[in-house]
């Protein structure tokens, strides 16, 4: 699932580059699976189909829906899918603009509106009275969830709930039974209060790829070093340590105002037969691709230039949300 960026919003200064990035994403995904896309109107939908076709993608696999949106971060306003009694259910959590930082009224309605329009076929939808973004959680499909205290325990999300109550909510809605918390690691420039998908990712049930910083003079070094030590201390449910795979650190990137932007290689996306990996026109790109190829030997590693995305403080995984095959019908 993608929510195509609006040309009249925050992306406007370099919209052409951002649209090229989304076109590449839609191309690569459409070559392998269906793509649900929220767009502005019918003319915009036609343009997206042309862009993807011209890029060598499969426009017949695009399912486009004209709906109001605030921004492009589908990971955080899109549905989270769980399985109940052998069937998928899409969960619609509350999205509050990362703690009220940005406008979010339209984005908070997208999942329900897509469901009403048939984007998820006959899959039932459950509305969840909990503020939760997809980028804030990482699961292994076997009952383990990894997250950060800085985000899920932030009073700008669910101030009425303490840690134990939030854990009970996660268990209830997501079916997880083993929850791991990180205290450190928030990347400078990230405005999500430390989403786990910028920091550490489960490649399988026993392997974690994580963002490192090897420059001791970098202001980011203490946080990422502390996070690495936390990851080394984590134990799987069977008591064994995780296999840890460090990802290289790209050079600092700043916006025109001097604010550091959150470039991270942990923000990759696993799709059918491939892993899409963000690149930043940085010397570390090649090592990041090689490292992740070792984590996913049965999938093609596909680089996607995401430098335009980090100017709005997110990257590749942040603008996408995966859906099981059973959720998206071949035709809508």
Q: In the annotation, is 128 catalytic?
A: no
Q: Which helix (H) or strand (E) holds 269?
A: strand 269-271
Phi, psi of 35 (to 5 degrees): -135, 120
DSSP state of 251: P
3-state DSSP assignment of residue 198? helix
DSSP state of 331: -
The contacts of residue 72 (CB under 8 Å, 6+ apart) are 2, 3, 4, 5, 6, 11, 18, 22, 312, 319
DSSP state of 18: H
Vertex 191 angle, CA 185 and 196, to 5°: 40
Q: Which residues pair with 211 in a beta bridge?
A: 247
Question: Which residue among the candidates 203, 295, 306, 318 is catalytic per the annotation?
Answer: 318
Q: What is the 3-state secondary structure of 95-125?
A: CCHHHHCCCCCCHHHHHHHHHHCCCCCCCCE
Q: Which helix (H) or strand (E) holds 174?
A: helix 163-174
Nearest to 302 by CA among 263, 262, 272, 264: 272
3-state DSSP assignment of residue 62? strand
Q: Which helix (H) or strand (E) holds 278?
A: strand 274-279
Total Cβ atoms within 10 A of residue 88: 19
Q: Virtual CA dihedral for 169, 171, 174, 177, nearest 10 degrees? A: 160
Total Cβ atoms within 10 A of residue 56: 11
Active site (catalytic) residues:
318
């Amino acid at each position: 699932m993608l929510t195509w960026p609006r040309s009249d919003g925050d992306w406007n200064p370099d919209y052409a580059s951002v649209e090229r990035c989304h076109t590449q994403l839609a191309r690569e995904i459409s070559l392998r699976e269906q793509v649900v896309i929220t767009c502005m109107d019918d003319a915009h939908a036609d343009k997206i189909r042309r862009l993807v076709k011209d890029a060598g993608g499969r426009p017949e696999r695009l399912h486009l829906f004209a709906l109001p949106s605030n921004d492009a971060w589908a990971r955080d306003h899109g549905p989270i899918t769980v399985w109940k009694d052998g069937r998928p259910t899409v969960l619609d959590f509350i999205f509050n603009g990362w703690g009220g930082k940005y406008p979010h009224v339209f984005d908070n309605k997208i999942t329900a509106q897509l469901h009403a329009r048939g984007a998820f076929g006959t899959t039932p939808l459950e509305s969840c009275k909990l503020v939760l973004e997809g980028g804030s959680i990482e699961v292994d499909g076997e009952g383990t969830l990894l997250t950060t205290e800085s985000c899920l325990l932030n009073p700008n999300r669910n101030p009425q709930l303490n840690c134990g109550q939030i854990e009970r909510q996660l268990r209830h809605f997501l079916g997880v039974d083993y929850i791991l918390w990180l205290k450190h690691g928030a990347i400078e420039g990230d405005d999500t209060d430390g989403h786990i998908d910028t920091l550490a990712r489960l490649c399988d049930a026993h392997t974690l790829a994580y963002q490192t910083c090897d420059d001791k003079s970098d202001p980011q070094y203490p946080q990422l070093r502390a996070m690495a030590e936390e990851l080394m201390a984590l134990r799987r449910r069977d008591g064994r340590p995780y296999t840890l795979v460090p990802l290289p650190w790209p050079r600092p990137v700043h916006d025109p105002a001097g604010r550091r932007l959150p470039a991270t290689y942990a923000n990759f996306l696993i799709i059918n037969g491939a892993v899409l990996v963000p690149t930043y026109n940085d010397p570390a790109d090649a090592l990041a691709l090689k490292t992740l190829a070792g984590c996913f030997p049965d999938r093609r590693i596909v680089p996607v230039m995401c430098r335009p995305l980090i100017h709005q403080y997110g990257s590749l995984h942040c603008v996408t949300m995966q859906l099981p095959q059973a959720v998206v019908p071949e035709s809508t």
